[in-house]
Structure 1
Amino acid sequence: MTPMIDGIRFPRPLRPGDRIGVTSPSAGVAGAASERIGFCVEWLRGRGYDVVVGECMDGAGLTSAPAEQRAAELTRMLADPDIHCVVPPWGGETAIDLVDLLDYDALAAAEPTWLVGFSDLSTVLLPITTRLGWATIHGDNLADTPYAVPDGLLHWLDLASGPGPFVQRDSGVVTDWWRFEEDPRATEWKHVGTNRWEVEGGGSLDVSGRLVGGCVETVGHLAGTPYGDVRGWADALDEATVVYLEACEDDAVDICRHLHAMRLAGWFDRAAAVLVGRTNAPDHPDLTQRGAVLDALGRLDLPIVWDLEIGHVPPHLPLVNGALARVVVDGDTREITQTLS
């Protein structure tokens, strides 16, 4: 199916006083997590935003509500002219059950609204960008939003609030979350190590293209469907892409299968490069996570940049799906510039 787009539509910059909607298109909130999410809501309010919390937030089961109810609430918030940004508490497991229940006609008739998140929210960010043409932000979920940003990176609020261009550089640090039971009001990442971006095979890199990507375990299941037609989207734009990917928890063999499926569905046909996020996902006894990427994508002769801060190993480097990105890795320069045009 041909994407429903004729270009990229960028939501207007977010301003203090604007309303931010909170809903759970996937997993809801329960137990010790409730205090954390309550703190994060108040953190946003303390920065001048009018935060409204939806009804789909129940954390008693796998999802916050039936798929039809979650899709309706997300559609309503995204189409509401008084809501300028929507952010989930976090990801989950089965947001794929609502991608075909969203009212794309209603959204196409509305002004674009920022949708922010990562992990299972990648499943929703992708079709909102490729089918509607709305720019979306692959960045912190609500639970991560109060964490201070390390040097070199920007907060997702910076990207949602300004005209750009936005320049971010390799932070060089690896961090971790504080467990909610340890500190539900944490605002400083737990420092656990250092790391740097690197180009596969060494050397330098300077490429540009439209950003698109997400969590392999979630967006991989959309490959070959109308909700993950990255090749059709790139063809409609007639532009190169920069594909970014990160693995959450699947072992290397499963990641390898996902990436092959994405390759066969044309995900990398117009790619200028592939950016790969740091991961703690396990290796297979006979295949590493890097080996999985190379097995699927090595035959494409595409530049690959390893170990960006774009996934389940924080801190987080927010990326705007649909933004024009320039990625430079050359000597001590490791940076990505995003232009919202």
Structure 2
Amino acid sequence: MTRPSYPDKPRPGDRIAVISPSSGLPGILPLPYELGLRRLRDEFGLEVVEYPTTRTMGSTPAERAVDIHAAFADPEIKAVIASIGGDDQITVLPHLDRELLRANPKPFFGYSDNTNLLALLRNLGIVGYHGGSVMVELGRPGAMHPLTADSLRAALFTRGAYELTPAKETDHVNRRWEDPRTFDSEPEMRPADDWVWHNADRVVEGPGWGGNLEILGWLLMADREVRPVGDYAGSVLFLETSEEMPSADEVYRILRNMGERGLLQQFPALIMGRAKCWSFAQPLGAEEGDRYRAEQRQAVLRALSEYAPDTMAVLDVDLGHTDPQVVIPYGGNIRVDGTAHRIVVTY
């Protein structure tokens, strides 16, 4: 499989599209959305362009596809960023004009359910960016986290190597977006554990593939945007789990089934995101959250031991549904240096 190429980057002053390929949450939760838009304008210097479904809950997959096409086809739009994720972007994929997207490559930023579009773009030969959303990272209460802002700014505007830095703190308890008081101060943080290295005795370098684990499971079940397993040989797998907080058993089963397919063993290195361990549906205490993360790490290592025992792994990396968050190039180069305990991505 040919490595995807990097689309041209925007510059301050350029126009950037904000779309909602999954959920139209900006329409019912405007506070973090409007804050994120202000930061795109004031802190990143970009002109924001919205589309008909960006603030529309319940828009059809075909309507959302029209907005994706419009954003990519407009030569004045220099990058595209998702407002937030959701749970049905897989239904948008059949409506997309792949030749239109291939002919108009642009940096696309998103994660979670946006794993669908990132995987499609990679299959079209376009590097995307797993991370950064308007409502979450840009709309963070109080201020953007410096680690998040630095990574997102580098991914948006620069080309070349960028070394990921382990976070010294991480979020735990969230606050309601409906309440204006939520945005008066930054989230409460707690000390973050360092990355966990496994089989760290070599250097692996290759194009990144992966995304949100639950969404990848759905893509595999629907046989969408997943290429023959051999096409991933030598790539770097990166994964993360969502705020729905799948159990350790479920994480193991998804990875097991990837192993049964012959997919898991194609990757000489795995980067696993720091697990989200609190939600309004599962408000775990600090000790319970630590236990949840530990059980997920054990599940990942169990699957690797059974299907890919030689794979190098780095766990608790700050990607995906975590705060702070670093951006991972989807299809772009990732260098995992086990001997030096360093991860360098190419934006």
State the TM-score bracket (shorter-chain normalisation).
0.7 to 0.9
Q: How many Å separate the matches in 2 of 1:234 and 1:41?
A: 36
TM-score by length of 1: 0.85
Contact 1:154/1:168 (8 A) holds in 2: no
Cα distance in 1, alignment partners of residues 263 and 74 from structure 2: 32
Q: Is 2:182 the partner of 1:210?
A: no
- Aligned with 2:51 (options 30, 46, 54): 54
CA contact (8 A) 2:241 2:273 kept: yes
How many pairs were matched up? 323
The answer as to whether partners of 2:33 and 2:134 remain within 8 angstroms in 1 is yes
- From the superposition, tell whether residues 49 and 140 of structure 1 become closer, same or farther in structure 2 (CA, over 3 Å): same
- Map residues 93-172 of structure 1 onto 2, 5 A cutoff: 93-110=87-104, 112-129=105-122, 131-143=123-135, 144-145=137-138, 147-150=143-146, 154-172=150-168
Q: Secondary structure of the equivalent of 1:134? A: coil
1:255 to 241, 244, 251: 251
Shift of 1:258: 1.7
Say if 2:240 is the partner of 1:246. yes
User: What residue is the counterpart of 1:337 in the other structure?
Assistant: 344
SS of residue in 2 equivalent to 1:154: helix
Rounded Cα–Cα distance in structure 2 between residues aligned with 1:310 and 1:86: 19
Mapped partners of 2:327, 2:335: distance in 1: 14
C-alpha contact 1:86 1:114 (8 A) present in aligned 2: yes
**Structure 2 CA distance for partners of 1:79 and 1:270, relative to 1, 3 Å:** farther
Q: Distance in 2 between matches of 1:122 and 1:158?
A: 21
User: After superposition, where does 1:214-225 map in structure 2 within 5 Å?
Assistant: 214-223=211-220, 225=223
The answer to whether 1:317 aligns with 2:326 is yes
Give how far 1:272 is off. 1.6
**Structure 1 residues 334 and 59, CA gap change in structure 2 (3 angstroms):** farther
Shift of 1:83: 1.1
Q: State the match for 2:285 in structure 1.
A: none
Instruction: Describe the shift of the 1:51–1:14 C-alpha distance in structure 2 as closer, same or farther (beyond 3 A).
Output: same
Q: Check if 1:74 corresponds to 2:68.
A: yes
Amino acid at match of 1:160: L
1:306 to 297, 302, 315: 315
Q: 1:107/1:295 Cα in 2 relative to 1: closer, same or farther (>3 Å)?
A: same
1:184 deviates by: 5.8
Q: Distance in 2 between matches of 1:75 and 1:50?
A: 19
Q: Which residue of 1 aligns with 2:266?
A: 270
Give the 3 Å change call, closer, same or farther, for CA 306–68 of structure 1 in structure 2: same
| 8 Å Cα contact 2:147-2:324 kept in structure 1 | no
CA distance change for structure 1 residues 184 and 18 in 2, over 3 Å: closer, same or farther?
farther
2:335 corresponds in structure 1 to: 326
Superposed displacement of residue 10, structure 1 = 0.7
Which amino acid in 2 is paired with 1:23?
I
- Name the residue aligned to 2:295: 288
From 59, 79, 84, give the equivalent of 2:78.
84
Q: Per the alignment, in what secondary structure is the counterpart of residue 259 of structure 1?
A: helix
- List alignment gaps of at least 5 residues for structure 1: none
Amino acid at match of 1:292: A
SS in structure 2 of the partner of residue 75 of structure 1: helix
Q: Match for 1:76: what amino acid?
A: A
Change (3 A) 1:230 1:37: farther
| Contact 2:7/2:107 (<8 A) preserved | yes
> Do the aligned partners of 1:152 and 1:170 also contact (CA within 8 Å) in 2?
no
Query: Offset of 1:104 from its aligned partner?
Result: 0.4
Aligned residues of 1:20 and 1:85 also touching (Cα < 8 A): yes
CA distance in 1, matches of 2:111, 2:184: 19
Matching residue's letter, 1:90: I
Measure the CA separation in 1 of the matches of 2:24 and 2:258.
29
Let me know the Cα RMSD of the aligned residues.
Answer: 2.8
Task: Quote the Cα distance in structure 2 between the aligned partners of 1:99 and 1:269.
Answer: 27
Change (3 A) 1:152 1:89: closer
Percent identity over paired residues: 25
2:24/2:54 contact within 8 Å kept: yes
Q: Scaled by the length of structure 2, what TM-score is found?
A: 0.83
- Counterpart Cα distance in 2 of 1:259 and 1:7: 24
Alpha-carbon distance change, 25 to 105 in structure 1, aligned in 2, over 3 angstroms = same
Tell me: CA distance 1:103–1:187, structure 2 relative to 1, closer, same or farther (3 Å): farther
Alpha-carbon offset, residue 328 of structure 1: 2.5
1:273 Cα deviation after fit: 0.8
